[in-house]
Amino acid sequence: EPEVTQTPSHQVTQMGQEVILRCVPISNHLYFYWYRQILGQKVEFLVSFYNNEISEKSEIFDDQFSVERPDGSNFTLKIRSTKLEDSAMYFCASSQLRLAGGPRNTQYFGPGTRLTVL
């Protein structure tokens, strides 16, 4: 069964450093998402991406964050200058576009990348 993959599984970085989290969505999916979960808190939506542009973003997704689909398979989340409070589990998800339009189909999640900022 196709699945969403994420690398690395765990990333440790120093405060102020840039990190890039990588995701490979399911191959025929067209909508891509990033979520994060700070330890002990809710899973929170960060951003959705379709047709090479951001379709929706939350207030968490400020100028320090960016997303990119650099090729036909990868979807990345970049944090330019990490802060301690960016420590969290980051989940990538993807969904297939239906003919009727709109991301109504199931979102399939990857296993997550645990980011630790020291």
Which positions touch other proteins (CB under 8 A)? 4, 6, 31, 33, 35, 41-45, 48, 55-56, 58, 91, 93, 95, 102-104, 106-112
Nearest to 90 by CA among 106, 103, 109, 74: 109
Asked whether the bond before 8 is cis by omega within 30 degrees of 0, the reply is: yes
**Minimum gap (Å) between residue 9 Cβ and other proteins:** 9
> 73 or 81, CB closer to other proteins?
73
Please give the structure tokens belonging to residue 46.
């960060």
**Minimum gap (Å) between residue 105 Cβ and other proteins:** 9
